[in-house]
Structure 1
Amino acid sequence: MAFYRLRNKKWSPFFTNSTNRFEEAVFYKGHFYAVDDIGVLRRLLFDIDSNSYEEEVVSVDIGGNTSYRYLVESSSSCGGVTMMVVRRFDFERGKTELFEIFKLDWSNGNWEEVSNLGDQALFLAHCDSKLVSVSLDNPEYRQNTIYFIDDVFAEDFGMYNLGNRYFEPLKIPSSHMRHPFCGWIQPAA
């Protein structure tokens, strides 16, 4: 992780203290939070002047042995919550097989499973996940649905309806599927 310092016009790197690799990070309520490769969520407290930081464990692993974890910080219009999405991937078939969504209870550091997004949709990509409100007047996006892209193989794109647990492919031209996407453009309702 690195910060750009306007006064020096240069990047200042921060090296992790953790023996585990951070997979995903979000900025939430004035702090950076990162989940590592074993699913531990940590608050990173940076001291910009000394190029150091401390880690505070916020919660322990909820995902078990998993393929991918995503952190999602929603806007205040969507409740302002922090969520972790666990994506289970079948590497032999090259397809996503399941999503699980958890919301963090900040009072005790426990993760609570979320089975319904209501009138919201989740756009999922590493370091660029978004939870957005979806209007019934806007048929472009579906409520209670996860839109996902393949962060590794660039072949597994789709929509996952949480209500019926049904996968549908995204309608992406085959010429675009040769290159992985790195993020989403913010949908406009």
Structure 2
Amino acid sequence: MKVCHPWRSVTLNHKRHIQFLKSFPWLLLTAGEEEDQRYFFIPSENRACRLNLPEARGCHCWGSPNGWLVTLGFDQQFHLLNPLTRKRLPLPPLSTFKDRNFTASKPGTNRMFCVRKASVFTDDENPQFLVVYLIIGEFQKCAFARPGDTTWTVVGKSDLLIDVINFNGKLYAVKNGGHIRVCDDPNGPHPTLIHFAALPDVVMGTERFYLVELGGELHLVVRTSDRTQTDIPPYEFHHYVKTSYFEVFKLDLSTLKWDELETLGDYALFVGSNTTFALKASHYPDQCKAGCIYFTDDYDEAYGKLVGDDMGIYNLEADTFELLYKGDDILSRFSPPVWITPKPF
């Protein structure tokens, strides 16, 4: 394994816990996937560290802004895992979601390809409330569960989704090549998505989409990619796709009209296969780049080739890219790097 920064172990104690109460997001790297230690890059300090985390050994992981990783192991078990405290909460196993593409004879294949995205949402007034949304299966359906549930609840009419968000007590979803859908009562007995709004007129529908709350309003992030050449042989490389630019649109919930943003102002966005989230850069002085989108590779590769290379920092107003992290330890056949904001609870 080649790395670009010296690895340093993090020893957690009470003083460390205080330090992480308002931490800038970390990047969980793919290095150490099959080891008891997992490796993290801390952009605000331009350094990497390692944590003893045997609970994540061999797991496909998805990050979140609220301190939790969603993990899926070869045993087909989902968990919520706090990488600082190593606290782990059980979620329903993969076997409770029925899909004809899943086969118990190939658990590794299930782990790599069954979940397109996992998002974790909580209640600001009740941090103990947690709900995990998956985009899962052959038809990219939405399923959700809370810690301790025995089965995943499948949301009706949720085929071909790309991203979901729990916003103002409602579930919003963006459909592949389609439109925005909403479920007014995701806690009801039969949660079902219905049509809510069309995509912005200038959007083709073939891009990648992310839903995010920004300043108390619902926004759509559009990621456009181009096919490019690479020096790495195609068989070993993941794909020929590189992000070319982003667009961000705000939805007026009363008129259902979209307004394109020319700048993010004080905000920074974090997108990838993790929960999509925004931060105020002024809350992280000298750490966070305002007006930028921090992105990781989430291209849907169906053949188990390497993923992880398409990542960086994009300035929306200037239309410029900046290197985020580079090293062989971002490439994986299991899961690409993901964002997580560490919290010591």
TM-score over 0.5 for the alignment?
A: yes
Residues 1:70 and 2:199 aligned together: no
Unmatched segments (≥5 aa) in structure 2: 1-141, 230-240, 300-306
| Corresponding residue number in structure 2 for 1:87 | 223
Q: Aligned pair in 2 of structure 1 residues 104, 47: CA closer, same or farther (>3 Å)?
A: closer
2:191 is the counterpart of 1:37:
no
Residue 277 (structure 2) pairs with residue 122 (structure 1):
no
What is residue 281 of structure 2 aligned with on the other side? 134
The code of the aligned residue for 1:80 comes to: G
Cα separation, partners in 2 of 1:129 and 1:5, compared to 1, 3 Å? closer
The aligned amino acid for 2:339 is W
Give CA-to-partner distance per residue, 1:1-31, whole Å, 9 cap, x none.
334367x84124325325x511110000111
What's the counterpart of residue 4 of structure 1?
Answer: 145
Taking the aligned partners of 2:338 and 2:222, their CA distance within structure 1 comes to 18
What SS does structure 1 have at the residue aligned with 2:338? coil
Higher relative contact order (CA 8 A, sep 6+): 2
Moved more, 151-160 or 135-144: 135-144
TM-superposition CA deviations, 1:53-104 (whole Å, max 9, x none)? 3333221022213320111123xxxx21111011001134421111010011
Q: How many residues align?
A: 180
Distance 1:105 1:131 in 2: 18
Q: Which residue of 1 aligns with 2:331?
A: 178
- Partner of 2:294 in structure 1? 147
- CA distance, structure 2, for counterparts of residue 97 and residue 49 of structure 1: 40
Kindly state the Cα deviation for residue 147 of structure 1 after the two structures are TM-superposed.
Answer: 0.7
Other structure's SS at 2:310 match: coil
SS at match of 1:54: coil
Mapped to 2, the partners of 1:184 and 1:43 lie a distance apart of 26
More strand by share: 1
Q: In the alignment, which of 113, 134, 152 is matched to residue 260 of structure 2?
A: 113
CA contact (8 A) 1:150 1:156 kept: yes
Larger Rg: 2
In structure 2, C-alpha distance between the alignment counterparts of 1:49 and 1:65, rounded to whole Å? 30
* Matches of 1:116 and 1:35, distance apart in 2: 22
Superposition deviation, residue 127 in structure 1? 5.0
Residue 93 of structure 2 is matched in structure 1 by none
| Separation (CA, whole Å) in 2 of partners of 1:41 and 1:17 | 12
Using the aligned pairs only, state the percent identity.
31
Is the CA contact (8 Å cut-off) linking 1:2 and 1:11 kept in structure 2?
no
Q: Is the 8 A contact 1:2 1:13 kept in 2?
A: yes
5+ residue gaps in structure 1?
Answer: none
> Are 2:185 and 1:58 equivalent residues in the alignment?
no
Q: CA RMSD in A?
A: 2.6
TM-score of the pair, normalised by structure 1: 0.82
In the aligned structure 1, how far is the partner of 2:144 from the partner of 2:292?
34
Give the counterpart letter for 1:81 in structure 2: E
User: How many Å separate the matches in 2 of 1:9 and 1:130?
Assistant: 25
| Cα-to-partner distance string for 1:139-166 (whole Å, 9 max, x where unaligned) | 2221111111111231111011122111
